[in-house]
Amino acid sequence: MNKAEILSPAGNKDCLIAAVNAGADAIYLAGNMFGARAYAGNFDNDELIWAIKFAHLHGRKIYLTVNTLCKNPQFKLIYDYLYPLYEAGLDAVIVQDMGVVSFIKKCFPSLEIHLSTQATITSKEAVKALADYGIKRIVLARELTLDEIKDIYSLGVDIEIFIHGAMCYSYSGQCLFSSFLGDRSANRGRCAQPCRQCYKLEGKGKPEYILSLKDMCLAENMNEIMALGPMSLKIEGRMKDASYVGLVTGIYRRLVDSYYEKGDICLSSKDIEILDNTYVRKDRSNGYIHRFKSPDMITMDKATYNHEEKNLDDYTNIPKVKADLKAHIVEDEPSFVVLTTKYNGEEISARVEGGEAQKANNYPLNKDDVIKRLSKSGNALIQPVVSEAELSENAYMNIKDINELRRNAIDILTNMIAKKANQNTIDAVNYYNDKDYDYKNSGNTGDLIIYVNDKDQLDECLKYDFYDAISIPSYMLNENGRGFVTDIKNKSLKLYVHLPYVIRQPQVENLCKKIGEFKDFIDGIYVNQLDSYYMMKNRFPEISIKGDINLYIYNNEAERFFDSLSTYTAPVELTRQELNHINLSRAEMIIYGKIPFMHSANCVKNTKGQCMKGKGDINYTYLTDRQQRAEAVILHCNEDICYNTIVNGVPLCLFDRYKDVINLHPQSLSIRFTDEDVKEVRHILDEALKLKEEFGDKVTFEHTKGHFNNGIL
């Protein structure tokens, strides 16, 4: 019978040991590269190999996070980093970057790939396509409701959900907040946690933790979750200590076991007390499983943890696998030991022979002393338990040789178990080639595209004629849409449509219906996630697909993976020098725009009891931080499932770097409007027109160059 897997975090060796002692079925951890928690303790490669061996001896699995976005030069490191771990029997890697997915899939054909929650998977369409591609497990977005999870689970694909721990305000993987405010990219494992800071809504009132979500705790909902069927149940916390890992894992272990034993789960008051006092951010909530958002999920007045570190010697003492030992030391006969244990119900034995025992001249071996020596284990992970010691009356053997018999038996048995646990049976091949990751761009830059957010912006842009295409949001494909489309086509412009940054399963059919009604007029559609990418690819193969800003293509491997895209948006976290080595022949570069910082299922207006539903398709507000810096918030209130986008209050502008941009030879350029009013739109377009003609001059409004000059950590 397949059972639900409890998957626990380990930021260091103590946490790993605590997870195993507390009953985790699998442990996820990171090495010293490519992990999305760069500030956790993490493991070096020798420690990782030890961790794999340790976990396998206890019948557990190890999943390695390789879940940062990777720049081209890093690909030369991936193979050498993973090869010894693959050989040691690493059970799976957790990956976000589709370029890294593609590379690992080619190099390590037996290695399971789990797609990280940072890929923001929310729909059946993407889950099925990714499973067909060969990804073994999909880690779903934390924002999904129980009904959405159930619908996806019906596909029969291996899925993983979070059941406990901290939650980002943003959809995971859809956040550039830390990157643009502090040059520390969440996509590179160095998030500065700006969502845990205080803000004022529209500059009013006292500062509050309006973006700080309470920690998720689904302990009280485990009957509902377990009723879905066996899946991986993930506990967040690679930055937390061994007491958190041991206590929280232990509680969920008991709950899951209780469900399989009794068909029902009863959470004790003691369990609730532990969960309330073990790394909880003010309070806990059951996340999104019964709702799309709620003010009750936000901490508002406190963002620090309640936590009292416990003495957990029982959790952090290294457990050893007991093995039966039989010894034969008889004079004039070869000595030997047989060490036996069970692994996955199968009996495994290691027999080791030594030299002949001799007749003692003076002091024969003492049986109790021999048993004591054969029972030692030192730093080994197997503990011999002597059940039989056949020792002749006058036998003598060097103590060093007795110890060597024991050590050799332990080593051989350990390696036998490791071999049985190792599912990586196909040879690895390094497919890295320098020329694939060092591209020199050439060619001409083509279209200039204007990207609008509402009708007022569209009307103002249509007064200009120096660009080639215009992109409208999908919500404008409504009863008035024919008029918008006619106005655009009458100016001989290409018409593009940008889909919501995040698409949830309940939105899919309605959205596809809108696109179907207008598909004969649409020249291309922007997609921001794998869900919308596969939706368009499967349902509208006749329409050109354009990768938007959050469909991250950081490297040439990812560029090749997304071969169905007509264009993709050049990553805004890379410098001019780094962009010069990515294939930009299909890339669109943003030369003006307020970069989206994060997309959240929650809503800052709703949190303050000011829901804007029914007050327009799209609304705007802003947040101010402690430095009185204002960040715009776009309220997408028109969609079946509304959401917020927080954007940089200061726009990226490369008008005065036009020559440098053109020398990168992207396929196209774009000017993107978000919350700008008509006057601002007019001013920016006038600047763009002038600067395009004159190839650069001083920009007359406040702006940033983003990461065009300076990179990210």
Q: Is residue 512 in some structural domain?
A: yes
Backbone angles phi and psi of 66, in degrees to 5: -125, 55
Q: Is-contact 582 556, C-beta < 8 A?
A: yes
State CA 664 to chain mean position distance: 30
Whether 500 and 442 map to the same domain: the answer is: yes
Q: Is residue 54 in some structural domain?
A: yes
Backbone angles phi and psi of 568, in degrees to 5: -135, 155
**b/e 224-240 (16+ beta carbons within 10 angstroms → b):** bbbebeebbbbbbbbbb
Whether 51 and 142 map to the same domain: the answer is: yes
Maximum Cα–Cα distance for the chain, whole Å? 111
Whether 342 and 448 map to the same domain: the answer is: no
Backbone angles phi and psi of 343, in degrees to 5: -135, 120
Q: Is residue 415 in some structural domain?
A: yes
CATH code of 292's domain: 3.20.20.380
Range of weakest confidence among 59-68, 257-266, 611-620: 611-620
Q: Is residue 316 in some structural domain?
A: no
Indicate whether 593 pLDDT > 80.
Answer: yes
Q: Is residue 148 in some structural domain?
A: yes
Whether 282 and 149 map to the same domain: the answer is: yes
* Helix (H) / strand (E) containing 439: none
Give percent of the chain with pLDDT exceeding 70: 95
Distance CA 558, CA 713 (A): 20
Q: Is residue 225 in some structural domain?
A: yes
Whether 34 and 149 map to the same domain: the answer is: yes
Of 245, 203, 269, 275, nearest to 633 by C-alpha is 203
At 283, the pLDDT band (50, 70, 90 cuts) reads confident
SS3 of residue 367 by DSSP:
helix
Whether 330 and 301 map to the same domain: the answer is: no
At 277, the pLDDT band (50, 70, 90 cuts) reads confident
pLDDT per residue as tens digits for the range 358-377: 988 888 999 999 999 999 99
Whether 554 and 478 map to the same domain: the answer is: yes
What distance, in Å, lies between the first and last C-alpha atoms of the chain?
46
Distance CA 100, CA 339 (A): 42
Whether 162 and 14 map to the same domain: the answer is: yes
* Per-residue tokens: 232: 């991986």
Q: What is the pLDDT of residue 177?
A: 86
Q: Is 429 exposed, middle or buried (0-12, 13-18, 19+ CB in 10 A)?
A: exposed
**b/e 360-373 (16+ beta carbons within 10 angstroms → b):** eeeebbeeeebbeb
Q: What is the pLDDT of residue 492?
A: 95
Segments forming the whole domain that contains residue 396? 321-421
Could you give the C-alpha distances from 259 to 234, 246, 643, in angstroms and in order? 17, 20, 35
Q: What is the pLDDT of residue 36?
A: 55
Q: Is-contact 297 214, C-beta < 8 A?
A: yes
Instruction: Summarize the confidence of residues 522-531 as an average pLDDT.
Output: 97
Indicate whether 279 pLDDT > 80.
Answer: no
At 178, the pLDDT band (50, 70, 90 cuts) reads confident
Whether 149 and 227 map to the same domain: the answer is: yes
At 282, the pLDDT band (50, 70, 90 cuts) reads low
Q: What is the pLDDT of residue 693?
A: 57
Q: Is residue 137 in some structural domain?
A: yes
Q: Is residue 541 in some structural domain?
A: yes
* Per-residue tokens: 698: 């001083």
Q: Is 513 exposed, middle or buried (0-12, 13-18, 19+ CB in 10 A)?
A: exposed
Last residue of a domain, one of 249, 273, 308: 308
Distance CA 598, CA 633 (A): 10
Q: Is-contact 159 232, C-beta < 8 A?
A: yes
Distance CA 323, CA 385 (A): 6
List residues bridging with 679 in a β-sheet: none
Report the DSSP pairing between strands 232-235 and 200-201: unpaired
At 188, the pLDDT band (50, 70, 90 cuts) reads confident
Whether 414 and 469 map to the same domain: the answer is: no
Q: Most confidently modeled of 165-179, 476-490, 527-541?
A: 527-541
* Mean pLDDT for all residues in the chain: 92
Indicate whether 641 pLDDT > 60.
Answer: yes
Whether 537 and 401 map to the same domain: the answer is: no
Of 478, 448, 351, nearest to 405 by C-alpha is 351
**b/e 598-612 (16+ beta carbons within 10 angstroms → b):** bbbbbbbbbbbeebb
List of residues 6+ apart from 301 with CB closer than 8 A: 208, 209, 282
Q: What is the pLDDT of residue 711?
A: 73
Q: Is-contact 704 652, C-beta < 8 A?
A: yes
Whether 414 and 450 map to the same domain: the answer is: no
State which amino acid sits at residue 47: E
Last residue of a domain, one of 308, 341, 375: 308
Last residue of a domain, one of 264, 282, 308: 308
Question: What is the DSSP code string of 597-641?
Answer: EEEESS-HHHHTT---TTS-SEEEEEEE-TT--EEEEEEE-SSSS
Structural domain count of the chain:
3
**b/e 10-40 (16+ beta carbons within 10 angstroms → b):** bbbbbbbbbbbbbbbbbbbbbbebbbbbbeb
